A and B are shown apart, each in its own frame.
Chain A
């Protein structure tokens, strides 16, 4: 779960609990070095048994992200880092080149690197090769609520990935989370979909159930799709000889 868009700390904590999330990501730019009332680390500290993953959102290039990651490790005591580099502050699309650079350096430094990335199957393998712990391709643009617009690319990423794939950004509804898990993704990361919903805690719980259902469906194996046209009365293969059968 992302934590940046809630109306207050109580709702955020309630939603995280209801979602059953195992990892919570917190933007370093929202964390104070001197604890204060509105400091995010304070409220997140209440959440036991959850991995805290600082993110580098706000960084425009690799060197900014690397510094932020190091500071995050110091402040949160967590080796996890969500590398998030979006040089364009408006659409917040991840920069593939800078992300690759930062991931390379941070993985070598022993961080558990989880990069927010474009849904690009080649970049995915490159990031895997430099030692990332997971891949976090976007479903669609941050805050767009357009769901799994990148589904075709996600399928290619999933086919070849050796590390977990977590769909990050763009999800709007629990059914989209279920679809991502059915497809074979290992997890989803949501923030706006829960925080900007009518009832964040109820929505978080709905996501939890959807993720569970999607995972179960993937494990159970979906039936083959389509089936095409009905079988023709005279089979197309009737001409094949049965000789030697």
Chain B
């Protein structure tokens, strides 16, 4: 298709993209395959797989149950700051968007954490935009230390860092790093990241490996659905995950499936993915990666989230606020990064899970593992 001058060979999806033209027989073969890989993933995402939705869902549910039981791990995002120097065309926090900017001061971070803890969470994901003088690495490190005092599991979703920085985060108690490539298509990537450090495709691509190298236990990968051809991106995502698993066998991988949501700036998806498309993607990924936790955020509407819980998806957030100061403040001064689709409270969401025969698990990790002598590398 496109020339991809900057795409490393280990990531290049082209040999498998023929699978987009799969026949029903190819789809059946993919469903019956013992060790499905990129070829099978492409077939399961091809138009020919549309009539197999129910079969894929059944398979996805059985695999999810086998590996994760009837449980859903719960986490909550916490937005620390919305300063950003990048120009991501699809984001409400991009530097050309007019909106109030702020960061939470450490005492405020503590208040937000306390408000979250009240609702039962034991795993928190701290988010911020690009490294800025207002909210740079040292600030993030301080926030991780604060969170680690109160939460068993602390994750960070922020700018790519150096191996040394990731090691410092791990030492401070960070067990997870999330870094989405947004899109693996280098040409689209270049177009959508209009300016700022995020323009560096390869630096971002290599970020998860640096985090693992530094002893971060779990790294979250994902693409922002809507930016590029979803089959291209899905095959790359799978290859990225496989590459990391080979090089860093002691680290875990999680995958998320964020879809482009309305935000300030009014960017609309070039490759929109509808709910059926998203569901099929989750099923297909579950089939090829049976033991990887798959996440779904509150971007999606309640009915869709209810249906997907346990059907491939094994980890979910609830009661999320995507604005800075969203938990503690009655009326946060900033807008959220994206519109929340599922606005239900944590107890309401948990009641739904229980009704569907699923147990919400808030604590699935213990900080005792974090401080073991010689922590980091086993």
A residues in contact (CB < 8 Å) with B = 4-9, 28-32, 36, 38, 58-61, 63-64, 66-68, 71, 87-92, 95, 98, 143-145, 191-192, 195-196
Query: A30-B363, A68-B366, A88-B249 in contact; A36/B120 too (CB < 8 A)?
Result: yes
Q: List 15 contacting pairs A-B, 8 Å CB cutoff, sorted by A.
A: A6-B71, A30-B364, A32-B363, A58-B365, A59-B372, A60-B250, A64-B375, A66-B372, A87-B250, A89-B217, A89-B251, A89-B252, A90-B291, A90-B292, A195-B69
| A6 shortest CB reach to chain B, Å | 6
Bound-state Cα–Cα, A87 to B376, Å: 11
Say which one of B228-236, B331-339, B354-362 lies at the interface with A. Answer: B354-362
Interface residues of B in 345-373 (CB under 8 A from A): 354, 357-366, 368-369, 371-373
Most central of B69, B291, B375 by chain A CB within 10 Å: B69
Bound-state Cα–Cα, A61 to B378, Å: 5
Q: Which residue of B lies closest to A29 (CB)?
A: B366
For the complex of A and B, list the 4 residue pairs with the smallest distance between their C-beta atoms, beginning with the closest: A5-B69, A61-B378, A89-B252, A7-B70
Q: Which residue of B lies closest to A69 (CB)?
A: B368
Number of A-B residue pairs, CB cutoff 8 Å, is 106
**For the complex, is B6 an interface residue (Cβ under 8 Å from A)?**
no
**For the complex, is B374 an interface residue (Cβ under 8 Å from A)?**
yes
Instruction: Evaluate contact between B292 and A196: CB separation under 8 angstroms.
Output: no
Known: A60-B250, A63-B373. 4 other contacts (CB 8 A): A9-B359, A38-B120, A38-B361, A89-B250
Bound-state Cα–Cα, A90 to B368, Å: 21
Bound-state Cα–Cα, A60 to B251, Å: 10
Instruction: Evaluate contact between A143 and B366: CB separation under 8 angstroms.
Output: no
Bound-state Cα–Cα, A173 to B358, Å: 22
Bound-state Cα–Cα, A89 to B252, Å: 5
Instruction: Evaluate contact between A7 and B358: CB separation under 8 angstroms.
Output: yes
Residues of A within 8 Å of B99, CB to CB, are: none
Query: A8-B359, A29-B363, A88-B250 in contact; A64/B369 too (CB < 8 A)?
Result: yes
Residues of B within 8 Å of A7, CB to CB, are: 70-71, 354, 357-359
Q: Which residue of B lies closest to A88 (CB)?
A: B249
**For the complex, is B90 an interface residue (Cβ under 8 Å from A)?**
no
A4 touches which of B69, B365, B373 (Cβ 8 Å): B69
Q: Which residue of B lies closest to A58 (CB)?
A: B369
B residues in contact (CB < 8 Å) with A = 65-71, 120, 122, 152, 217-218, 245, 249-253, 291-292, 354, 357-366, 368-369, 371-375, 378
Bound-state Cα–Cα, A150 to B42, Å: 34
Q: Which residue of B lies closest to A71 (CB)?
A: B368
Instruction: Evaluate contact between A143 and B372: CB separation under 8 angstroms.
Output: no
Most central of A30, A31, A68, A90 by chain B CB within 10 Å: A90
Residues of A within 8 Å of B152, CB to CB, are: 29
Bound-state Cα–Cα, A9 to B360, Å: 11
B65 touches which of A36, A66, A90, A196 (Cβ 8 Å): A196
Bound-state Cα–Cα, A8 to B354, Å: 7
Bound-state Cα–Cα, A210 to B342, Å: 45
Instruction: Evaluate contact between B291 and A143: CB separation under 8 angstroms.
Output: yes
Instruction: Evaluate contact between A38 and B360: CB separation under 8 angstroms.
Output: yes
Instruction: Evaluate contact between B69 and A60: CB separation under 8 angstroms.
Output: no
Bound-state Cα–Cα, A217 to B5, Å: 67
Residues of A within 8 Å of B70, CB to CB, are: 5-7, 195-196
| B177 shortest CB reach to chain A, Å | 14
B362 touches which of A4, A38, A58 (Cβ 8 Å): A38
A90 touches which of B71, B252, B354, B365 (Cβ 8 Å): B252
Instruction: Evaluate contact between A6 and B364: CB separation under 8 angstroms.
Output: no
| A110 shortest CB reach to chain B, Å | 19
Instruction: Evaluate contact between B66 and A143: CB separation under 8 angstroms.
Output: yes
Q: Which residue of A lies closest to B122 (CB)?
A: A32
Q: Which residue of B lies closest to A194 (CB)?
A: B69
Instruction: Evaluate contact between B363 and A67: CB separation under 8 angstroms.
Output: no
Residues of B within 8 Å of A29, CB to CB, are: 152, 363-366, 369
